[in-house]
Homo-oligomer: A and B are copies of this chain.
Amino acid sequence: MKFDTVTIKDIAKALNFSTSTVSRALRGSYEISAETKKLVLEYAEKINYRPNPIALSLKERRSQVIGVVVCEIANNFFSQAINGIESIAYNRGYHVIITQSHESAEREKVNVEHHASRSVDGLLISLSCETTDLTFLKDLHEKGLPIVFFDRITDEIDTHKVTANNYMGSFHATEHLIFQGFKKIAHITTSPSLSITNERLKGYADALAKHDIPYNKSLIKYCNHSGMIRQEIDELMDELFKQKTKPDAIFAAGDRITTLCLGYLKRMKQKKEVGFTGFTNTKVGELFDPPLTVVKQPAFEIGQTATELLIQMIESKRPVTEFTTKILETELIIRESSLKGVEV
């Protein structure tokens, strides 16, 4: 607490014990007489004593805090993942504090280092799309800070990772569009620097290949800001619809991108003509016009799994050296936006 809070010292003084005795009584140390323990506990209760976690962190280098860094909480995937994180963490006695990078590499670094310097016990991170230099994370990792990557992961650091099966999610979504008869499927995706981008691109490409549809580079558009900036999407879409091979369907690779693309199509009155599906965890896909076909990620479970792995690392007696990468399956929810020739 910040202001004139009761400390262990106050208890000691009032009860005429030493601070160490009080400390021991409070932590339920066995080497203390039942009577003293009772006395201390009761008095502490009475004056509403609360241990100071800052002092504890300084001493113990433990905080019972898990730091989370995501690009943006105003994103259905991440807010759901965070709920998964909290659901596990709180049950295991950890606090969760959340920070946003806003897709800025610099902000991400600042957040991570701030977490570390405030002694979080572990870090859960999904990388920003601007991030290229991972040394700040490597350093922390080498110093022994438990880190689990989720969603946007990296090969450069050897630790636990949890992500959706982006490859298969993308493959199925693309194949679904192909089954519907679409032939010129554009893929609007996130920054090429991200793991998810490549996984999804590969799924898309493999689905095309399987069905002998030529892979047309001009139908692939990267958003370097992953949908943070509307103008970027508008420009990409403009290009897309101005070039000679115009798409007959769009497959968007992210929550924000999906919404922005839809907005664009709506404004251009193309919503009904162009087949559409996207990676998004929105809960209101069925309320859209037309109802939205989506690739839904198990966001909550991803958050949970990442947190379980992290806590496992944190609480492990000896350094963990065996790491897993968990891949959770996505779900393709088919609604009208991807059905060919259906008028609502």
Contacts from A to B (Cβ < 8 Å): 1-5, 50-55, 57-58, 61, 65, 72-74, 76, 79-80, 82-83, 86, 90, 95-100, 102, 107, 111, 113-114, 116-119, 140, 143-145, 259, 262-263, 266, 283-284, 286-291, 344
| C-alpha gap A13/B299 in the complex (Å) | 49
CA A114 – CA B1 in complex, angstroms?
9
Chain B residue at smallest Cβ distance from A86: B100
Beyond the given pairs A97-B98, A262-B287, A263-B284, 8 more chain A to chain B contacts, judged by CB atoms under 8 angstroms and listed by A's residue number, are A1-B116, A2-B144, A3-B144, A54-B117, A55-B58, A72-B79, A79-B79, A263-B286
Task: Assess A3 versus B54: contact at CB under 8 Å? Given A80-B74, A95-B114, A98-B73.
Answer: no
Assembly CA distance A97 to B1 (angstroms): 17
Known: A2-B119, A288-B287. A54 touches B57 (CB 8 A): yes
In the assembled complex, the Cα of A287 lies from the Cα of B57 at a distance in Å of: 49
Q: How far is the CA of A119 from the CA of B50 in the complex (A)?
A: 13
- Asked if residues B117 and A1 are in contact (CB atoms below 8 Å), the reply is yes
Distance in angstroms between the alpha carbons of A82 and B102 in the assembled complex? 12
Interfacial chain B residues near A287, Cβ < 8 Å: 259, 262-263, 266, 288-289
Given contacts A95-B99, A100-B86, A117-B1, whether A262 and B284 have CB atoms under 8 Å apart is yes
**Chain B's nearest CB lies how many Å from the CB of A282?**
8
Please determine whether A113 and B50 come into contact, CB atoms closer than 8 angstroms.
Answer: yes
Q: What separation, in Å, do the CA atoms of A50 and B109 have in the docked complex?
A: 14
Residues of B within 8 A of A263 (CB): 284, 286-287
Closest 7 CB pairs of A and B: A289-B289, A74-B79, A3-B143, A97-B97, A98-B98, A73-B73, A3-B144
Decide if B98 touches A143 in the complex (CB within 8 Å). Answer: no
Q: Contacts of A114 on B, CB cut-off 8 Å?
A: 53, 95
What residue of chain B has the Cβ atom nearest to residue A99's Cβ? B97
Cβ distance A109 to chain B, nearest Cβ, rounded Å: 12
- Out of B4, B107, B286, name the residue touching A266 (CB < 8 Å): B286
Quick check: B286 and A288 within 8 Å, CB to CB? no
Please measure, in the bound complex, the distance between the C-alpha atom of A4 and the C-alpha atom of B61, giving whole angstroms.
11
Q: How far is the CA of A177 from the CA of B102 in the complex (A)?
A: 38
What residues on B are CB-neighbors of A98 within 8 Å?
73, 97-99
Q: Bound complex: CA of A74 vs CA of B75, how far in Å?
A: 8
CA distance A289 to B98 in the complex (A): 34
Q: How far is the CA of A80 from the CA of B119 in the complex (A)?
A: 28
Q: Give the Cβ gap from A212 to chain B, nearest Cβ, in Å.
A: 34
15 A-B residue pairs with CB within 8 Å: A1-B116, A1-B117, A2-B143, A3-B145, A55-B58, A65-B118, A79-B79, A90-B107, A97-B99, A118-B118, A259-B284, A259-B287, A263-B287, A284-B284, A289-B290
Which B residues are CB-close (under 8 A) to A117?
1, 50-54
CB closest residue in chain B, given A96: B99
Report chain B residues within 8 Å CB of A118: 53-54, 65, 118
Contact A119 B54 (CB under 8 A): yes
Residues of chain B contacted by A90 (CB below 8 angstroms): 107
Q: Which residue of B2, B83, B143, B262 is within 8 Å of A61 (Cβ)?
A: B2
* Residue in B closest to A52 when the chains form the complex, CB atoms: B117
